[in-house]
Structure 1
Amino acid sequence: MSHEIWIFGYGSLVWRPAFPFQRQHPGYIVGWARRFWQGSTDHRGVPGAPGRVVTLVESPGHRCWGMAYEVAHHQLAEVLDILDFREQGGYVRHDLPLYLSGDEQRPRSATVYVAAADNPSYLGPASLPDIAHQIRASRGPSGPNIDYVLRLAEALSAMQAEDEHVHELAGLLREPILAETG
């Protein structure tokens, strides 16, 4: 085999791949938008009190930035086993065109994990304040849900990637909680 093998991460894979790779590079996919519409009961929440993590929804013309990882051919089965376990909460593999920053003329194929609306952990759309409220209250085996959002926002900012949904949500989560009066 002589072709490159790429994995594209748009959530926690952006800052914590936790699998072997040869190189990493910022990149994007087209026609998909990142949204905090997937429930997490295995990482950022628990059964009965799911956290919210990102998935992708089709969005014509949209550009979703993330981190691309080139994987060695001899490590592909190991990497996919790791990711299949990690992304077991409703995510399925898709092969999508990937554009690496600085090399947009040559799209590559990348494996991307997407949680569709028909999976049992899908929470769907909600207002950003409602999403922020749920995230503030959620914690799972991988830590507080708020950390997931803020780490993603920081990683995207570091690569100068714009994502209005993530950055507005992170802004809401950074605001102090006002005590209710009554």
Structure 2
Amino acid sequence: MSIERWVFGYGSLMWRPGFAFQERQPATLHGRRRAFCIYSVHHRGTYERPGLVLGLAPGGAVRGAAYRIAEADWPEVYAYLREREQPTETYVEGAANIRLADGRRVETLVFFSDVHHPQWAGALSLERQADLIAGAKGLSGRNVEYLRDLIEHLREEGVRDHAMEALLGMVEARELAAE
């Protein structure tokens, strides 16, 4: 009997996994929530002007996507994910039980936020998040585009995240005022 390998994504892995998979299912992880809780000093900001990227903060629940990986593909997918998700070690890999949309419960690989890492921003107010995201830019582009992509792709998944939508409105207002 082969072991089922699953990966859970709650941000860009939902719409840009970058690896081969056999099955994709909407899924929910309980006990964590999607949050802009990690300072970005490379991809969406700089050391001088950090931005914010998503992480899994304690509490709540998060809807995302789970991918079932073929056993033969697992070594390559796992290596790719470690390189993608841990370049600055702001995320730590772990296992979590999630519920798939079809009712199955499976164990997945998840990249959790390292709350002890210097880039851990913690629980910031929406106002502080907006201040950091507005105007921030890094190697992967403007921080506000990351937020827009998130909201657009969540909507495509049938997920309305009112806090993220409110945050986008605040960021856009700050960027408009700065022009």
Please, what TM-score do these two structures have when normalized by structure 2? 0.89
* Matching residue of 2:43: 43
Structure 2, unaligned runs of 5 or more: none
Asked if 1:153 is matched to 2:148, the reply is no
Asked if 1:75 is matched to 2:73, the reply is yes
Q: Tell me, yes or no, if the aligned pair for 1:46 and 1:140 is still in contact at 8 Å.
A: yes
- CA deviations on 1:38-59 (whole Å, 9 max, x unpaired) are 1122321223322201111221
* Matching residue of 2:23: 23
Structure 1, unaligned runs of 5 or more: none
Q: Give SS of 2:124's match.
A: coil
Please, what TM-score do these two structures have when normalized by structure 1? 0.87
Q: Tell me, yes or no, if the aligned pair for 1:33 and 1:64 is still in contact at 8 Å.
A: yes
- 5 Å matches for 1:1-182? 1-59=1-59, 62-88=60-86, 89=88, 90-101=90-101, 103-104=102-103, 106-175=104-173, 177=175, 179=177
Q: Tell me which stretches of 4 or more aligned residues in structure 1 moved more than 4 Å.
A: none
Displacement of 1:170 in angstroms is 2.3
Query: C-alpha distance in 2, partners of 1:42/1:77?
Result: 27
- Structure 2 CA distance for partners of 1:85 and 1:27, relative to 1, 3 Å: same
Q: CA RMSD in A?
A: 1.8
Identity of aligned residues (%): 36
Aligned residues: 176
- Structure 2 CA distance for partners of 1:178 and 1:43, relative to 1, 3 Å: closer
Which amino acid is the alignment partner of residue 153 of structure 1?
I
- CA deviations on 1:114-172 (whole Å, 9 max, x unpaired) are 11210121122222122112112211111111111111111111111243332321232
Displacement of 1:95 in angstroms is 0.6
